[in-house]
Amino acid sequence: MVFDVERARRDTPGVRRVAHLNNAGAALPPSQVTEAVIAHLRREAELGGYEAAEAAAERIQATYTAIARLIGCAVDEVAVVENATRAWDMAFYGLSFSPGDRILTSRAEYGSNVIAFLQVARRTGAVVEIVEDDEYGQICLDDLRRRLDSGGGGEVKLIAVTHVPMQGGLVNPAEQVGALAREAGVPFLLDACQSVGQLPLDVQRLGADLLSATGRKYLRGPRGTGFLYVRRSILDHLEPPFLDLHAATWTAPEHYEIRPDARRFEAWETNYAGKIGLGVAVDYALSWGLDAIEARVTALAESLRARLQALDGVHVHDQGQRRCGIVTFTVEGVCAQDVWRRLAACGVNTSVSPASSARLDLPHRGLSDLVRASVHYYNTDDELDRLVTALP
């Protein structure tokens, strides 16, 4: 299948200025997204914020419909929030834990999620267990099965897994984790922050009960946007950690009723321009097709890995049987920050994945900070060459 890279680049004004290989940080948005956001800000300036939201009600609702199509769920199972962390938090802090309850996670788990586990463990006496990696560096399904089967210890209350970690090209076998979770009757919370927009996601196939995602990365949406999926059957088992007049109705001076859909995890005030932009970004991704996007992104990433591996003193560190658009590497004798700075000075955007944000993973693999180059479908071979030739 031929990907129309020229069209993608015509839609992406940023590619004229920079070789943007920091898509796992925040991708360059297509002009369709930027224009939709600006148009709504103008409407707010001209009509008033509340009046503009009313005028754009259909467009706002369309964002929920687009997300539901993207991940294969119902519209009332979607909450739109500020970012992936808040989405994940609303789900995680909505669960209740008692002393001895077990939370199973993996080494690739996102650092902020681990901090939340530690806080809740300290508050409630729940126990966090790290499922070991298999020989490919992905979550070991046998170890997960063993831990689910082990009669000893407390009840497993949650399996929380990061689909694609911040610090590498690994794609965790989320579908198999979902199948084990379902078999064991344990809720499965999938952090899809880095996979949404670069891989096809279907919550039915993934077996995810809860899924968190962000707008600005591979989806190419505006910053400050994200969403949470909550399976309808689990909705009433979660107590939103915060309630307000949007999440609940104040039915009598001493009573309230929580709204019946996933929007109970949203706040009343929101960035409507961002929400509209997120919907446009999702529709835009769907118009390319997620299978086509994955094929293009994975091929570019594999090509970059091969070019880097061919260089003396450069080491690629991505794990997993299935890999995605994130490429991590080190250059012997040069710290990751210096490599990143040097590349930036040459007009190549990358980033650094610090070991301090991946303490269960990078130090365990004997690694320190990594340089991260994350490709998107609008990148070209020329841009990969620019990175390789600019390396110190």
Where do contacts with ligand PLP occur on this chain (CB under 6 A)?
83-85, 110, 162, 165-166, 191, 193-194, 214, 226
Which of 3, 92 has the CB closer to ligand PLP?
Answer: 92
**Looking at beta carbons only, is 178 or 226 nearer to ligand PLP?**
226
Contact call for residues 353 and 166 (beta carbons, < 8 A): yes
Q: How far is the CB of 84 from ligand PLP (least distance, A)?
A: 3
Return d(Cα 177, Cα 191) in angstroms, integer: 13
* 56 or 78: CB nearest ligand PLP: 78
Q: Which is nearer to ligand PLP, 83 or 298 (CB)?
A: 83
Question: Which element (helix H / strand E) includes 130?
Answer: strand 127-131
Record the tokens describing residue 79, joined without a space.
Answer: 């909450």
Determine phi and psi for 158, rounding to 5 degrees. Answer: -160, 140
Smallest gap from residue 110 Cβ to ligand PLP (A): 4
- Report the alpha-carbon distance of residue 207 to residue 117 in Å, rounded: 22
Q: Which is nearer to ligand PLP, 12 or 85 (CB)?
A: 85
Residue closer to ligand PLP by CB (options 194, 198) is 194
The two tokens of residue 340 are 């990143």
Nearer to ligand PLP, 102 or 163 (CB): 163
Residue 175: C-alpha distances to residues 59, 187, 280, 289, 294 (Å): 32, 14, 28, 20, 17
CB distance 30 to 12 below 8 Å: yes
User: Tokens 């539901």 — which residue?
Assistant: 68
CB of 163 to ligand PLP, least distance (A): 8
For the bound state, the minimum distance from the C-beta of residue 166 to ligand PLP, rounded and expressed in Å, comes to: 3
**CB of 332 vs ligand PLP, minimal distance in Å:** 26
Residue 254 CB, nearest approach to ligand PLP (Å): 36
Do 346 and 390 meet the contact criterion of CB atoms below 8 Å apart? yes
Q: What is the dihedral of CA 121, 125, 126, 128, to 10 degrees?
A: 50
Q: At its nearest, how many Å lie between ligand PLP and the CB of residue 88?
A: 7
d(CA 82, CA 85): 8
- Amino acid, res. 230: V
Looking at beta carbons only, is 44 or 209 nearer to ligand PLP? 209
CB of 87 to ligand PLP, least distance (A): 8
Question: Which one, of 297, 348, 366, 352, lies nearest residue 325 by Cα?
Answer: 297
* Rounded Cα gap, residues 330 and 244, in angstroms: 47
**Which pairing describes strands 351-353 and 78-81: parallel, antiparallel, or unpaired?**
unpaired
Query: Distance between CA 281 and CA 26 in Å, rounded?
Result: 13
